[in-house]
A and B are shown apart, each in its own frame.
Chain A
Amino acid sequence: MRKIDRIIKRHKKKGALVPLLQDVMAEYGYLPQRTIERISQELDIPLSQVYSLATFYKSFSLTPRGKYLISVCLGTACHVRGAPRIVEKLERDLGIRAGETTKDSKFTLETVNCLGACALGPLVVIDGKYFGRINLSRLDEVLKDYLK
Chain B
Amino acid sequence: MRLRCPSDLVKARKLIRSRYDPKKTCVTVCCGTGCLASGARDVAETFRKEIDRRGLRPRVNLRITGCHGFCERGPLVVIYPKRIFYQRVKVLDVDEILSQTILKRKIIERLLYVDPMTGKKIVYENEVPFYKKQRRLIFGNNGRIDPTKISYYIALDGYTALAKVLYKMSPQQVIAEIKRSGLRGRGGAGFPTGQKWELCRNANSRLKYIICNADEGDPGAFMDRSLLEGNPHSVLEGMIIGAYAMGAEEGYIYVRNEYPLAIKHLTIALKEAQEWGLLGKNILGSNFSFRIRINRGAGAFVCGEESALIASLEGRIGEPRPRPPFPAQEGLWGKPTNINNVKTWANIPLIINKGARWYSKIGTKTSKGTMVFSLVGKINNTGLVEIPMGISLRKMIYEIGGGIPNGKKFKAVQTGGPSGGCIPARLIDLPVDYEKLTRAGSMMGSGGMVVMDEDTCMVNVARYFLSFTRDESCGKCTPCREGIKQMYEILDNITKGKGKESDLGLLKELAQIVKDSSLCGLGQTAPNPVLTTLRYFPEEYLAHIKDKRCPAHVCQDLIRYSLIVEKCIGCQICNKACPTGAISGEKKEPQRIDQKKCIRCGACYEACKFEAIRVE
Query: Is the pairing of A and B real?
Result: yes
CB of B220 within 8 A of CB of A136, answer: no
With A56-B317, A59-B299, A120-B37 as given contacts, are A80 and B71 in contact (CB-CB < 8 Å)?
no
Residue B446, interface by CB 8 Å: no
CB of A76 within 8 A of CB of B601, answer: no
CB of A80 within 8 A of CB of B378, answer: yes
In the complex, which of the residues A56, A115, A121, A136 has the most CB atoms of chain B within 10 Å of its own CB atom?
Answer: A56
With A59-B299, A118-B222 as given contacts, are A80 and B317 in contact (CB-CB < 8 Å)?
no
Closest residue of chain B to A120, judged by CB? B37
Closest residue of chain B to A132, judged by CB? B37
CB of A80 within 8 A of CB of B606, answer: no
CB of A77 within 8 A of CB of B299, answer: no
Contact of B601 among A59, A119, A136 (CB under 8 A): A136
Query: A16 — which chain B residues lie within 8 A by C-beta?
Result: 315
Residue B383, interface by CB 8 Å: yes
CB of B220 within 8 A of CB of A114, answer: yes
Residue A38, interface by CB 8 Å: no
Residue B399, interface by CB 8 Å: no
Query: A21 — which chain B residues lie within 8 A by C-beta?
Result: 298
Task: Mark each residue of chain A from 114 to 129: 1 if its CB lies under 8 Å from any CB of chain B, else 0.
Answer: 1111111101000000
Residue A53, interface by CB 8 Å: yes
CB of B220 within 8 A of CB of A75, answer: yes
Task: Mark each residue of chain A from 59 to 77: 1 if its CB lies under 8 Å from any CB of chain B, else 0.
Answer: 1100000000000001111
With A57-B298, A118-B71, A136-B577 as given contacts, are A77 and B38 in contact (CB-CB < 8 Å)?
no
CB of B226 within 8 A of CB of A118, answer: no
CB of A121 within 8 A of CB of B601, answer: no
With A16-B315, A76-B450, A80-B452 as given contacts, are A120 and B38 in contact (CB-CB < 8 Å)?
yes
CB of A77 within 8 A of CB of B377, answer: yes
CB of A80 within 8 A of CB of B456, answer: yes
Chain A interface size band reads: 35 or more
Residue B414, interface by CB 8 Å: yes
Residue B602, interface by CB 8 Å: yes
Residue B444, interface by CB 8 Å: no
Residue A88, interface by CB 8 Å: yes
CB of B315 within 8 A of CB of A114, answer: no
CB of B603 within 8 A of CB of A80, answer: no
Residue A89, interface by CB 8 Å: yes
Residue B296, interface by CB 8 Å: yes
CB of B606 within 8 A of CB of A58, answer: no
Q: Tell me which residues from 100 to 148 in chain A have a Cβ below 8 Å from any Cβ of chain B.
A: 112-121, 123, 130, 132, 135-137
Residue B364, interface by CB 8 Å: no
Contact of B602 among A77, A120, A136 (CB under 8 A): A136
Residue B181, interface by CB 8 Å: no
With A18-B312, A117-B71 as given contacts, are A137 and B603 in contact (CB-CB < 8 Å)?
yes
Chain B interface size band reads: 35 or more
CB of A18 within 8 A of CB of B377, answer: no
Residue A3, interface by CB 8 Å: no
- Give Cα distance in the complex from A77 to B601, angstroms: 20
CB of B377 within 8 A of CB of A57, answer: no
Contact of A17 among B34, B315, B603 (CB under 8 A): B315
- Give Cα distance in the complex from A58 to B579, angstroms: 32
Contact of A113 among B219, B298, B456 (CB under 8 A): B219
Residue B300, interface by CB 8 Å: yes
With A80-B452, A81-B377, A136-B602 as given contacts, are A114 and B222 in contact (CB-CB < 8 Å)?
yes
* Distance of B70 from chain A, by nearest CB (Å): 9
Query: B448 — which chain A residues lie within 8 A by C-beta?
Result: 76
CB of B298 within 8 A of CB of A22, answer: yes
CB of A116 within 8 A of CB of B298, answer: no
Closest residue of chain B to A135, judged by CB? B606
Residue B318, interface by CB 8 Å: yes
Q: Tell me which residues from 277 to 321 in chain B have a Cβ below 8 Å from any Cβ of chain A.
A: 295-296, 298-300, 312, 315-318
- Give Cα distance in the complex from A117 to B465, angstroms: 20
* Distance of B227 from chain A, by nearest CB (Å): 12
- Give Cα distance in the complex from A58 to B303, angstroms: 12
- Give Cα distance in the complex from A120 to B468, angstroms: 21
Contact of A80 among B258, B318, B450 (CB under 8 A): B450
Query: B378 — which chain A residues lie within 8 A by C-beta?
Result: 80-81
Residue A15, interface by CB 8 Å: yes
Residue B524, interface by CB 8 Å: no
Residue B33, interface by CB 8 Å: yes
With A56-B318, A115-B37, A137-B577 as given contacts, are A121 and B300 in contact (CB-CB < 8 Å)?
no
Residue A9, interface by CB 8 Å: no
Task: Mark each residue of chain A from 75 to 98: 1 if its CB lies under 8 Å from any CB of chain B, else 0.
Answer: 111111110010011001100000
Query: Given A59-B298, A77-B382, A92-B601, 8 other A-B contacts at CB below 8 A?
Result: A16-B315, A59-B299, A76-B219, A76-B220, A81-B378, A88-B601, A112-B258, A119-B72
Residues of A that sit less than 8 Å from B by CB? 15-19, 21-22, 52-53, 56-60, 74-82, 85, 88-89, 92-93, 112-121, 123, 130, 132, 135-137
List 5 tightest A-B contacts by C-beta distance, closest first: A76-B220, A58-B299, A113-B219, A57-B298, A116-B222
25 inter-chain pairs at a CB distance below 8 angstroms, sorted by A residue, are: A57-B298, A57-B318, A58-B298, A59-B299, A60-B299, A76-B220, A76-B448, A76-B465, A77-B220, A79-B220, A80-B377, A82-B602, A85-B601, A89-B601, A89-B603, A114-B219, A115-B37, A117-B38, A118-B220, A118-B222, A119-B72, A121-B376, A132-B37, A136-B577, A137-B577
